[in-house]
Structure 1
Amino acid sequence: MRAVVASLALVAVMMFSIVRAVLAWPPAGPAAAGALALYLVLEGWSAKRGGRRVMAMGLTAAAAALFFHPAPWPILLNAGIQAAALIGLFTALGFLREAAESSPLIQQCGSLMVRQPPGRRYLALALGSHLIGLVLNFGVLPLIGTMVVRGNTTEAAGGNPRVVAIRQQRMMTAIIRGFAIMTVWSPLSVSFTVMQSALPGLDWWPLLGVQVILAAALMTLGWFMDRRAFPRAPQTEGTDASILPVLRLSALVGAVVVASVVVAEILGVRLVVGAMLVVPPSAVVWLVAQHRSPLPALVHLGRRLSVSMPGFREEVTMLGGAMFLGSVLVAFIPPGETARLVQMIPLPAVAVLVLAAFSVMALSQIGVSQIVTVTILGGALGTLSSHGLPPLAVASGLMGAWALSACSTPVGAVVLSIARLANVSMRTVARDWNGRFVLAGALALALWLVGLCAAMDAF
């Protein structure tokens, strides 16, 4: 019964968030926040240490607001609504994850990537985790990672353990970088949602176009650094497998994204709301295609969601808790005051933006969530367009920093998942495997922001 109630609570979070965004019905926001609170009461304290810590920080911030802020209740209600909107998107993606995990198409794509020859394997795995991550989110890491671990045997490496270690590093870094760079541009990602909340007046379509270019540049950088670190070896392996599964998956993902865009445009809502409206029906259609009948598909989906949604407690506590914490902190650190302090920095505007992006990456190293830093910095820097900081450049820089920090923070969920699969320490993944890439990516991001700001000034 607890699992059923928790599952229904998450669905209610998603539904009320959609109603609030589409119909502007005032009671929907508090109802979404209340449903999220119910879920956290039922499942939150069963989360692991990291999730409980974020919840405790959120409760501490709430207590501070009650004791020290003159108008605490509107602040707490708004923070709850913002957290519920983020979890609403995550819940919608949970529907798609259930359809993807039972799909033979996903397994075929994963196997095809792992079987690529060495010269193409990094690029195949990076693009594959990037593409599958759009529909599976964090679920892509154990899916492809497990295939890599199973296929990377001593026998396959000719009995050479050094080759096994090199292959593991190359394949795992490809997976983590491909997934992290997906957050640079994807309208289905948490970063896109948080950025649109921090900069509510920012149009989504120019952001999407700019971020696709940045994502391609970072993906190319990762591939180039892999080739430099591990020079080309003779091609002793090959695969004659058809790329049709990858093309089919690309078409499916493209259809979901395009449908989200169309719905958002028709309704005049944010792109993430369009995604929340499109993703669950898309998951049902996908499942019906798998089961070839609506009733078995719906039964399967209901059974799976009653198990998986209570299991989302880690993501809900960490993502929702961080969003709540960031929203409360904004009340104590008003964007206007932060913007005034930023204006006092004796540096060009683009240099301030680069420093802000670097601060997101630096603070993530000590466990400060990107949701918190991006919420605070985005809201502050977004008000400085008259001082040479276009909101589009602010969003691009902070989202790029978010992606790079996901590869390198030793306390993040992405690094933790890869470290567990590879049976190495989180520090090995964050520093030894990805340290140089993140530093090079930070330099590339700085150059990108200089060029972007210059181009926007010119036009």
Structure 2
Amino acid sequence: MRATIATIALLSVVVGAIAQPLGGGAAAGFVAACGLIVYVLLEGWSCQGNGRIILLMAATAAIVTVIGHPAPWAVLSKAAMAAAAIIGLFTALGFLREAAESSALVQSCGELMVRQPPGRRYLALTLGSHLISLVLNFGVLPLLGTMVVKGNTLEAAGGDPRIVAIRSQRMLSAMLRGFAVMTAWSPLSVSFAVTVTVIPGLPWQSLLLVQALLAALLLILGLILDRRAFPPSGQALPGIGGATDWKPAWRMAALVAAVVIGAIAVAELLSLRLVHGAMIVVPPAALIWLWVQQRDVLNVFYGLGPKLRVSMPAFRDEVAMLGGAMFVGTVASAFLSAESLGQIIEGLGLPPLFLVILLAWAVMILAQLGISQILSVTLLGGALVHVAPPLLLASALMGAWALSACSTPVGAAVLTVARIGNVPVRRVASDWNGRFVLAGAVVLAFWLVGLDGLLFAFG
């Protein structure tokens, strides 16, 4: 009964999150927030580690708000709706995983990827994840992640579990980095929307060009670090090569293209952001995919119910960390202001370029502590908006957002990859991607120095 109620509660969050941009407004947001509260009350007690810590922080933030804010219920309502919106998005896009897990096509594509030489495999996955995520956002991770995990079998590795583990790390890291770097430049991403809002008058066309170059640098950095961490051994690897039939890959590309085109069409038709179009299209697309596999509508719905009653309650840690971080960040924004932070920062007397680099690194560090990039970029970016050139500041914010997206232990992307790979969240964030993020932070700093010089030279 508890699992059933928790599943219904989380599904109501999805419905509310989808209905809100369709005209449901505050009422839909309220339904989603209530569903999230019910889910947390039922499943929050079973959270582990970081999930419990974030929930404790959220409860503390709520108490402090009730005691110390002049309009506590308005703040808490806004925070709960913001948390419900991000959880609704996370859950809706995860529906593809339910269909992918039982798909023979996914199995075939996964086996095809595993048979590729390691370098080519990394490049294909990181570029594929990068491009598909332009519309599907982190919905690309359960789709491609399930595909490669199902193909990365012990049999394909010649019976060597060490090879299975290495392939899992390299393939999932390639996907995660490809997705994360998308947020450095995509005009369809949340990072782009928040940044152009925080920095008024920003020439978005110039920003798009500049950030596309930065994204290319970060993708190349990931490829180099992968090759350095796993240099070619010169020995024949099990399961590599042989006859290659690319038909499954083309069929998978057609399926993804259909979802992408559907999301674009719905977004354009209803005048929504593409991420909302994807939220609307993905759940029915997953049901259609299941129907194509089984050819029986009744079997699809009868089979999906028990699967959801297992998978939905199991999202408890992701819901706690992701929704809790959004809740805490939204509450914090009610007590802090960009203007007051700006006065403090300007009082330090540091050069603007140095402040911008420190700002980028601060966004990355705060993400490790569970502070949402939406909050840190809004507050810190707004604090420096009159100190540094707009293009320089925007590039720093979006670059930091991209790097922190694959390293924060409370981020949707890291949580999704950890669940797919069946590994601890910290292993994905630190062990797999720590070196990439640290190297990326250095690359970002040099990039900002070069960009500042170009902006000075060309006025």
- TM-score interval, smaller chain: 0.7 to 0.9
What aligned pairs does 1:246-325 form with structure 2 within 5 A after superposition?
246-325=249-328
- Aligned-pair distance for 1:437? 2.7
Q: 1:228 and 1:197, CA in 2 relative to 1: closer, same or farther beyond 3 A?
A: closer
2:169 aligned residue (168, 172, 177): 172
Deviations 1:134-174 (A, max 9, x none): 54636865764575472586x667xxx9xx57x85465144
Q: Is residue 107 of structure 2 the alignment partner of residue 110 of structure 1? A: no
The equivalent residue for 1:80 is 80
Query: Which range moved further: 49-58 or 242-251?
Result: 242-251
- Aligned-pair distance for 1:335? 2.9
The equivalent residue for 1:336 is 339
- Aligned-pair distance for 1:114? 1.7
Deviations 1:206-237 (A, max 9, x none): 78887666544323222223334544444734
Are the counterparts in 1 of residues 194 and 374 from structure 2 also a CA contact under 8 Å? no
Letter in 1 for 2:141: N
- Aligned-pair distance for 1:80? 0.4
Q: Is residue 13 of structure 2 the alignment partner of residue 10 of structure 1? A: no
- Aligned-pair distance for 1:248? 2.6
Deviations 1:319-361 (A, max 9, x none): 1111101111111222332244344454455543432222233
Residues in 1 aligned to 2:304 and 2:421: alpha-carbon distance in whole angstroms: 31
Aligned residue pairs: how many?
441
Residues in 1 aligned to 2:232 and 2:436: alpha-carbon distance in whole angstroms: 19
What aligned pairs does 1:145-294 form with structure 2 within 5 A after superposition?
145=149, 148=152, 150=154, 164=162, 168-169=165-166, 172-185=169-182, 192-193=189-190, 196=193, 214-234=214-234, 236=236, 237-294=240-297
The equivalent residue for 1:400 is 402
**Structure 1 residues not aligned, in runs of 5+:** none
Q: Give the TM-score taking structure 1 as reference length.
A: 0.80
Query: Which range moved further: 143-152 or 30-39?
Result: 143-152
Letter in 1 for 2:439: A
The equivalent residue for 1:439 is 438
- Aligned-pair distance for 1:451? 6.0
- Aligned-pair distance for 1:81? 0.7
SS at match of 1:150: coil
Q: 1:451 and 1:15, CA in 2 relative to 1: closer, same or farther beyond 3 A?
A: farther
- Aligned-pair distance for 1:199? 6.6
Residues in 1 aligned to 2:324 and 2:196: alpha-carbon distance in whole angstroms: 20
Residues in 2 aligned to 1:152 and 1:98: alpha-carbon distance in whole angstroms: 24
- Aligned-pair distance for 1:193? 4.7
The equivalent residue for 1:51 is 51
Query: Which range moved further: 318-327 or 336-345?
Result: 336-345
SS at match of 2:94: helix
Letter in 2 for 1:440: A
What aligned pairs does 1:373-388 form with structure 2 within 5 A after superposition?
373-382=373-382, 385-387=385-387, 388=389
SS at match of 1:297: helix
What aligned pairs does 1:35-50 form with structure 2 within 5 A after superposition?
35-50=35-50
- Aligned-pair distance for 1:87? 0.8
The equivalent residue for 2:21 is 21
SS at match of 2:26: coil
Q: 1:417 and 1:345, CA in 2 relative to 1: closer, same or farther beyond 3 A?
A: farther
SS at match of 1:405: coil
SS at match of 2:96: helix
Letter in 1 for 2:18: I
Are the counterparts in 2 of residues 393 and 453 from structure 1 also a CA contact under 8 Å? no
Q: 1:445 and 1:257, CA in 2 relative to 1: closer, same or farther beyond 3 A?
A: farther
Letter in 2 for 1:257: V
Residues in 2 aligned to 1:277 and 1:346: alpha-carbon distance in whole angstroms: 49
Residues in 2 aligned to 1:301 and 1:34: alpha-carbon distance in whole angstroms: 24
- Aligned-pair distance for 1:242? 1.7
| Identity in percent | 41
Q: Is residue 330 of structure 2 the alignment partner of residue 327 of structure 1? A: yes
Q: 1:359 and 1:340, CA in 2 relative to 1: closer, same or farther beyond 3 A?
A: same
Q: Give the TM-score taking structure 2 as reference length.
A: 0.80
Aligned Cα root-mean-square deviation (Å) = 4.0
Query: Which range moved further: 388-397 or 21-30?
Result: 388-397
